[in-house]
Chains A and B, each alone.
Chain A
């Protein structure tokens, strides 16, 4: 299972890539393994939305399950991955790369401290 060390993680299987004041969000390799073949992704927010932590920003559906993707940190949406809904299988094949979902401008960078690092997340997936 792939858990890149340069990312931060939530206990609901989202990953965060921090670059300056921008955070990119997606779902982890562990998440896509649990879901199995992803058939549908819907991003339910728009560019410009100002959102609080924990807001649902996307829904991911496979044949046997459906999961909400929640915002790990508050911020303003500055980009959404328009290509992802066309090719939902990217969540399975490239969860940390082409299957990024949204980018936000951070409201409160201190919230990042509450997230897990790679080692912490790995431990969490084993529980």
Chain B
């Protein structure tokens, strides 16, 4: 049964929540500035709880099943993180309070900055950016500021591999750069010849994801970085795939100048159906002075008896402010707790297990599906959702059929450089039984594709709704559940 909308279950004059009576003498509200109507729902508290509980049951989630989504790192979101983020000392602190009254928050943020810097081999970290895309934006702005500070205004190009996530070119364009694409070679590495052909003194930098979106560690990464540095450019690391590198290698050691983290991927903060995320950025020494303001720092040194006084500092050549206040603090608390529960050994175990799981699945599936790059993968791999002897079946059909077996599909049609791509990232928190079941189902679906393709074309059959008419949605554009004549 479909769940009605909150407006459809409203009943005039029904009350859901009561505030205490006003304890001060009342004055009149300003004339001419009062609204006529307030078209809001009128429901009871039970209506609300039942409505949203019923909606929640229409959702797939990590708590209920496995998400093999490449580049999303859908690992288990520890429940303890939810508890600690809600501690009153954190939850009720106002961002503009005097720093002396929130030393707990600031000490934690300062230490998180240090930890993230240590994990990726960088000299400075900002926790301010709200999500990966905003982290990228921060990074690209820093690159621009760096070149401008040296009087170098002709570097207007940003090099981006063709396997990159869409946010990379979008971010570069937003920052006023011209995007130049770099091809990937037959081994799944950045094509060195293509790179050399475009490197000159008009290149500001290269945005590189390593391991890349094919799940492959670039076998020439140090050379790629060296070439860009030699041409005077900087190298930005998209940290979406950091899960494969924790305790294995540090991007800073490889030569990356700047990178972002996705706390909602690598560091287990929950996806929440589309956020909030958090995208801290780490930079090498020569870029620390450009970090956004405010940055958490020590404003009074401590000694053996007193701890230091933490506060906010303004980097000398700061690119400015990326968002209001200090960043997604609640997500920082969760990530901090997560890192403290792993320590160096635990972090390495994450990467090892993630890479083990991905390679295990790859080994189980490579005889059924075509895998274009025949190498050991990192934490994810890409295979083609297209079988030679089932030409009418596409990656989309396989994805939809997976839902009938209670699995969320892998990432579809990305990266763009693999035909009918299915990108699979199991993460380290899935056990062998789940992986075996997933592989078995995918093998079964390949068989169904040959013998009964229609089953795939009309899938999914067992979900709350079937395939939805997206053309109709885009044409009719019903974006509100109020008056039908609104849109």
Interface residues of A (CB under 8 A from B): 37, 39-40, 61, 63, 88
Give CA–CA (A37, B470) in the complex, Å: 10
Binary per-residue interface labels of chain B (464-487) against chain A in the complex, 1 for a CB within 8 Å, 0 otherwise: 000000110011000000000000
Interface residues of B (CB under 8 A from A): 470-471, 474-475
Give CA–CA (A40, B471) in the complex, Å: 10
Chain B interface, DSSP helix/strand/loop, else mixed: helix
* Closest CB in chain A relative to B178 CB, distance in Å: 15
Q: A40-B474, A63-B474 are in contact. List 6 more A-B contacts (CB 8 A).
A: A37-B471, A39-B471, A39-B474, A39-B475, A63-B470, A88-B475
For A63, the closest partner residue in chain B by CB is: B470
* Closest CB in chain B relative to A32 CB, distance in Å: 13
Q: 10 interchain pairs (CB within 8 A)? A: A37-B471, A39-B471, A39-B474, A39-B475, A40-B474, A61-B474, A63-B470, A63-B471, A63-B474, A88-B475
Residues of chain B with a CB closer than 8 A to A88's CB:
475
Residues of chain A with a CB closer than 8 A to B475's CB:
39, 88
Give CA–CA (A88, B474) in the complex, Å: 11
Residues of chain A with a CB closer than 8 A to B474's CB:
39-40, 61, 63
Give CA–CA (A11, B5) in the complex, Å: 48
Give CA–CA (A40, B474) in the complex, Å: 8
Residues of chain B with a CB closer than 8 A to A37's CB:
471
For B475, the closest partner residue in chain A by CB is: A39
Residues of chain B with a CB closer than 8 A to A40's CB:
474
Residues of chain A with a CB closer than 8 A to B471's CB:
37, 39, 63
Give CA–CA (A37, B473) in the complex, Å: 12
Give CA–CA (A37, B474) in the complex, Å: 10
Closest 5 A/B residue pairs (Cβ): A39-B474, A37-B471, A63-B470, A39-B475, A63-B474
Give CA–CA (A40, B475) in the complex, Å: 8
* Closest CB in chain A relative to B31 CB, distance in Å: 43
* Closest CB in chain B relative to A48 CB, distance in Å: 29
Residues of chain B with a CB closer than 8 A to A39's CB:
471, 474-475
Give CA–CA (A96, B290) in the complex, Å: 53
* Closest CB in chain A relative to B477 CB, distance in Å: 9
* Closest CB in chain B relative to A84 CB, distance in Å: 14
Give CA–CA (A39, B472) in the complex, Å: 9
Give CA–CA (A63, B475) in the complex, Å: 9
Give CA–CA (A4, B113) in the complex, Å: 63
Give CA–CA (A88, B475) in the complex, Å: 9
Residues of chain A with a CB closer than 8 A to B470's CB:
63
Give CA–CA (A37, B475) in the complex, Å: 10
For B473, the closest partner residue in chain A by CB is: A63
* Closest CB in chain A relative to B386 CB, distance in Å: 17
* Closest CB in chain B relative to A12 CB, distance in Å: 16
For A61, the closest partner residue in chain B by CB is: B474
* Closest CB in chain B relative to A68 CB, distance in Å: 13
